[in-house]
């Protein structure tokens, strides 16, 4: 067994700390947030943390000092800190793929030393960052010319999963810092509509494609990249010699990049110790760097690094990712919560939760431990959410009065971005909504309070809010590149903590493979009517129906 297969570790639910938590949970039953706040006037002060620019308020959680102590002790007994240190040291903690997990090296300062198999990887990280910087400057300044000698006006990133969600999310988040004379688009879906809509109004002579794929074998990305190349050649009326000025690649796989027809001189490298969903601060962020500029990109990396250092060194009681991870564990295991909502009160963070879905659900959607044994406890939650206040007029009803407990993160910023001009005046209303939601979810409205408002008796149950719906509030002064980096690192490490606690490998994603294999088998049945051996009755009937509908 690999050192991090950890078959010899005592199972989580057999640890004495687990038993202590179970008993504690039973004792706490019925204790609500109104009582917890009434008992401790300093609760808000004590249950908050400052990490870099992030202010975290976790007072509105169904926990006491004892809960937090017991959870921290469980994490210690489960070896979370040991695994964290092994990750930072570059050990191969991704045991099913025998890989190191070193996204933290992507934001390490130039003089740091982080070794994988005895080799310091930091110089290579910075060499790629320097090449990216050069590329971004050339595109932004108009020095990078297309085949016909015209400067680039639109950059189209083609990638999927981690090779799309990160740059697309961060581009949106920092849109107010982007070069407004350039246009950026992100194509991921193998549905031709995605590429069609992205390029239909573009001039190929002024368009540059970044093909972003760690493996460079992902069918969606390669299919879209080939179609984009066809579009370019047809539009330019030129031969393959025109590709070099309009296509660059980001990948770990130089061989496949060359096979595709992109000059490896136009390839930006990263490494197998960077997981796809942990990669947007690698060369996968090339489109983002081009949009926001190298200085902002490096500021973002510094933000990541700040939280990396916090996670690595802060004492457990004040360690934000540890705390958030443990709170999530507490609700999943001891309150039967199946989901976790992330609700940014910032339009710029409109893709933030979609990004976190991959980060969290691809990492911790696992049912066996590192040694391959089924786990007997809850693992990763369903992560979802959209920006407030839109969600308030859609699904918050369920959060307030439904039968499910869904812990939520409320994110907001004190300063609206300068560019909004007079629209900045709307910001206080936005933030009042964030604060109101946290308050309503936590403390609800009792039947007595509803009655006291003169509500007719038959309506009282409908207008009562049970409260005790936990939230974490994360506030920062403004949404800068550094703050974005800090936020993402916070969630990355939260996900790490939970995976380590549950004893699962957060860094593989075998669960996406079966669908890929089956799609490959089914495609010829759709196109040519080929027999698919062993196809079930339902799927073969659907294949037949599909072919009929397509007139085949």
In this complex, which beta carbon is closest to ligand F6P, that of residue 167 or of residue 276? 276
Please identify which residue in 49, 78, 101, 160 interacts with ligand F6P, judged by CB under 6 A: 160
Site string for ligand F6P, 490-509 (x = CB under 6 A): -------------------x
In this complex, which beta carbon is closest to ligand F6P, that of residue 222 or of residue 306? 222
d(CA 321, CA 385): 20
- State the number of binding residues for ligand F6P (CB under 6 A): 14
Answer yes or no whether residue 221 interacts with ligand F6P by CB under 6 A.
yes
Give least dist CB 359 to ligand F6P, A: 10
User: Is 367 within 8 Å of 379 (Cβ atoms)?
Assistant: yes
Answer yes or no whether residue 218 interacts with ligand F6P by CB under 6 A.
yes
d(CA 128, CA 137): 14
In this complex, which beta carbon is closest to ligand F6P, that of residue 281 or of residue 362? 362
Please identify which residue in 10, 432, 512, 541 interacts with ligand F6P, judged by CB under 6 A: 512
User: Is 274 within 8 Å of 255 (Cβ atoms)?
Assistant: no
Q: Give 31's contacts (C-beta < 8 A, 6+ positions apart).
A: 62, 64
Pairing of strands 471-476, 48-51: unpaired
d(CA 142, CA 121): 32
d(CA 230, CA 409): 44
Answer yes or no whether residue 166 interacts with ligand F6P by CB under 6 A.
no
Answer yes or no whether residue 392 interacts with ligand F6P by CB under 6 A.
no
Give least dist CB 442 to ligand F6P, A: 36
Answer yes or no whether residue 214 interacts with ligand F6P by CB under 6 A.
yes
d(CA 136, CA 277): 23
Residue 362: active-site member: yes
Residue 214: active-site member: no
In this complex, which beta carbon is closest to ligand F6P, that of residue 79 or of residue 167? 167
Three-class SS of residue 96? Answer: coil
Please identify which residue in 72, 95, 163, 486 interacts with ligand F6P, judged by CB under 6 A: 163
Give least dist CB 515 to ligand F6P, A: 9
Answer yes or no whether residue 276 interacts with ligand F6P by CB under 6 A.
yes
Pairing of strands 119-120, 115-116: antiparallel
User: Is 59 within 8 Å of 43 (Cβ atoms)?
Assistant: yes
In this complex, which beta carbon is closest to ligand F6P, that of residue 217 or of residue 527? 217
From the list 218, 219, 216, the residue with the least C-alpha distance to 262 is 216
* Secondary structure in 3-state letters for 20-74: HHHHHHHHHCCCCHHHHHHHCCCHHHHCEEEECCEEEECCCCCCCHHHHHHHHHH
Answer yes or no whether residue 215 interacts with ligand F6P by CB under 6 A.
yes
Answer yes or no whether residue 305 interacts with ligand F6P by CB under 6 A.
no
H/E stretch holding 119 reads: strand 119-120
User: Is 295 within 8 Å of 179 (Cβ atoms)?
Assistant: no
In this complex, which beta carbon is closest to ligand F6P, that of residue 69 or of residue 223? 223
CA-angle at 166, arms to 208 and 514, nearest 5°: 100
Q: What Rg, from alpha-carbon coordinates, does the chain have?
A: 25
d(CA 74, CA 326): 9
Please identify which residue in 151, 162, 391, 481 interacts with ligand F6P, judged by CB under 6 A: 162
Residue 340 exposure: Cα atoms within 13 Å on the Cβ side: 26
Answer yes or no whether residue 481 interacts with ligand F6P by CB under 6 A.
no
Answer yes or no whether residue 161 interacts with ligand F6P by CB under 6 A.
yes
Give least dist CB 8 to ligand F6P, A: 29
User: Is 348 within 8 Å of 371 (Cβ atoms)?
Assistant: no
Please identify which residue in 104, 213, 282, 290 interacts with ligand F6P, judged by CB under 6 A: 213
Give least dist CB 504 to ligand F6P, A: 16
In this complex, which beta carbon is closest to ligand F6P, that of residue 166 or of residue 294? 166
With CB under 6 A as the contact rule, which of the stretches 135-143, 211-219, 301-309, 533-541 interacts with ligand F6P?
211-219
Residue 97: active-site member: no
Answer yes or no whether residue 167 interacts with ligand F6P by CB under 6 A.
no
Give least dist CB 519 to ligand F6P, A: 12
Burial 66-90 (b: 16+ CB within 10 A, else e): ebbbbbbbbbebbbbbebbebbbeb
Answer yes or no whether residue 72 interacts with ligand F6P by CB under 6 A.
no
- What's the sign of the alpha-carbon dihedral 67, 73, 77, 79? positive
Q: Residues 230, 516, 523, 528: which is the catalytic one? A: 516
With CB under 6 A as the contact rule, which of the stretches 79-87, 158-166, 422-430, 474-482 interacts with ligand F6P?
158-166
So which residues are the catalytic ones?
362, 393, 516
List of residues contacting ligand F6P (CB under 6 A): 160-163, 213-215, 218, 221, 276-277, 362, 509, 512
């Amino acid at each position: 067994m690999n050192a991090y297969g950890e078959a010899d570790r005592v199972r989580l639910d057999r640890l004495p700390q687990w038993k202590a938590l179970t008993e504690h949970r039973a004792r706490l039953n019925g204790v609500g947030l109104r009582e917890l706040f009434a008992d401790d006037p300093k609760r808000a002060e004590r249950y908050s943390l400052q990490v870099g620019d992030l202010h975290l308020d976790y007072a509105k959680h169904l926990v006491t000092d004892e809960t937090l102590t017991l959870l921290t002790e469980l994490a210690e007994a489960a070896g979370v800190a040991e695994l964290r240190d092994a990750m930072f040291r570059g050990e191969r903690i991704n045991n099913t793929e025998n890989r190191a997990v070193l996204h933290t090296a992507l934001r390490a300062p130039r003089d740091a030393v982080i070794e994988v198999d005895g080799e310091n990887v930091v110089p290579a990280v910075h060499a790629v960052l320097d090449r990216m910087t050069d590329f971004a400057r050339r595109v932004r300044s108009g020095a990078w010319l297309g085949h016909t000698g015209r400067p680039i006006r639109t950059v189209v990133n083609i990638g999927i999963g981690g090779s799309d969600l990160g740059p697309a999310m961060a581009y949106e988040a920092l849109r107010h810092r982007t070069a407004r004379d350039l246009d950026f688009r992100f194509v991921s879906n193998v549905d031709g509509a995605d590429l069609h809509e992205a390029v239909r109004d573009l001039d190929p002579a002024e368009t540059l494609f970044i093909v972003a794929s760690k493996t460079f074998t992902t069918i969606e990305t390669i299919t879209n990249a080939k179609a984009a190349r066809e579009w370019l050649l047809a539009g330019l009326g030129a031969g393959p010699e025109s590709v070099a000025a309009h296509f660059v690649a980001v990948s770990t796989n130089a061989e496949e990049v060359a096979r595709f027809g992109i000059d490896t001189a136009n390839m930006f490298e990263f490494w197998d110790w960077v997981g796809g969903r942990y990669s947007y601060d690698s060369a996968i962020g090339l489109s983002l760097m081009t949009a926001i500029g190298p200085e902002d990109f490096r500021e973002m990396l510094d933000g990541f690094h700040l939280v990396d250092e916090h996670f690595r060194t802060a004492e457990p009681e004040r360690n934000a990712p540890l705390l958030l991870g443990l709170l999530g564990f507490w609700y999943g295991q001891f309150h039967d919560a199946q989901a976790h909502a992330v609700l940014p009160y910032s339009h710029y963070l409109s893709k933030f939760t979609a990004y976190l879905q991959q980060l969290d659900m691809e990492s911790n959607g696992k049912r066996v431990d590192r040694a391959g044994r089924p786990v007997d406890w809850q693992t990763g939650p369903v992560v979802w959410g959209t920006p407030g206040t839109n969600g308030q007029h859609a699904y918050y009803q369920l959060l307030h009065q439904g039968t499910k407990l869904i812990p939520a993160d409320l994110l907001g910023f004190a300063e609206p971005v300068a560019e909004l001009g007079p629209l900045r005046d709307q910001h206080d209303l936005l933030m009042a909504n964030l604060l109101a939601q946290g308050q309503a979810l936590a403390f609800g409205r009792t039947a007595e309070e509803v009655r006291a408002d003169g509500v007719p008796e038959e309506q009282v149950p409908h207008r009562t809010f049970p409260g005790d719906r936990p939230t974490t509030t994360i506030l920062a002064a403004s949404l800068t590149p550094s703050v974005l980096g800090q936020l993402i690192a916070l969630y990355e490490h939260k996900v790490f903590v939970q995976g380590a606690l549950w004893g699962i490998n957060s860094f593989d994603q075998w669960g996406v493979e079966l669908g890929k294999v089956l799609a490959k088998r089914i495609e010829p049945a759709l196109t040519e009517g080929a027999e698919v051996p062993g196809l079930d009755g339902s799927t073969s009937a659907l294949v037949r129906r599909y072919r009929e509908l397509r007139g085949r």
